[in-house]
Homo-oligomer: A and B are copies of this chain.
Amino acid sequence: MQVEVIVKLKNGVLDPQGKAICHALHSLGHKNIEEVSVGKRILLEVKGQDKEAIKKEVEQMCQTLLANVVIEDYEVKL
């Protein structure tokens, strides 16, 4: 089963990467860009079919490894 995890910075946490991309896009002439935020998209191929159990396990993986829960939020999509 394929599981998608989206990891993004929490609101209010500074996003230097997003700011840098925004400035670069402006310098390339894309003046209508108001804000850019950058996150991670992680695809997991997981053995098994029990959606509930897999979702719970992937959330535990997010807590321990995939996301820095102090500054990041995560979303698990099956």
Contacts and interface: CB of A to CB of B under 8 A. Distances in A.
Interface of A: 6, 8, 18, 21, 24-25, 28, 30, 32-48, 57, 61, 64-66
Contacts of A64: 28
B42 A40 contact: no
Copy count, this protein chain: 2
Given A30-B57, A33-B45, A61-B28, A38 B38 contact: no
A32 B61 contact: no
B34 A47 contact: yes
Given A24-B65, A61-B25, A35 B44 contact: yes
Contacts of A46: 32-34
